[in-house]
Amino acid sequence: MSEREIAIAGVGMTRFTRQADRGHRDLVEEAVTAALTHSGLAPSDIQATFCASVAGGAAIGQRTLKNLGLAGRPIVNVENACASGSTALIEAQAWLLAGFCDVALAVGVEILSASRGPLAVRTPGETSWIFETGLNLPGWYALKASRHMNEHGLTLEQLASVVVKNRRLATLNPYAHFRSEVTAEEVLGSPMIASPLTLYQCCPKVDGAAAVIVCTADFAARHGLTPVWVRARALTSGTQVFTDAPEPADGAHRAAALAYERAGLGPEDLDVAECHDAFSIGEILYTEALGLCADGDGGRYIAEGSTSPGGKGPVVNPSGGLLSRGHPLGASGLGQVAEVVWHLRGEAGSRQVPEARIGAVHTMGGSEFELDSNACSVHILERA
Catalytic annotation, residues = 82, 327
Give the span between the Cα atoms of 338 and 324, in whole angstroms: 16
| Amino acid, res. 48 | A
Q: Sign of dihedral through CA atoms 239, 241, 244, 250? A: positive
Distance CA 287, CA 202 (A): 17
* Cα dihedral 346→349→350→356 (10° resolution): -20
Write out 223-244 in H/E/C secondary structure. CCCCCEEEEEEEEECCCECCCC
Angle 214-73-47 (CA atoms, 0-180°, nearest 5)? 25
CB atoms within 10 A of CB 347: 11
Can you name the residues that pair with 274 across neighbouring β-strands?
361
C-alpha separations of 149 from 24, 180, 339 in Å:
40, 28, 31
Cβ contact 273:261 at 8 Å = no
> Which stretches of the chain are DSSP H helices?
23-39, 60-65, 84-98, 129-132, 137-152, 156-170, 184-189, 217-222, 251-263, 280-289, 298-303, 321-325, 329-344
Instruction: Count CB atoms within 10 A of the CB of residue 210.
Output: 34
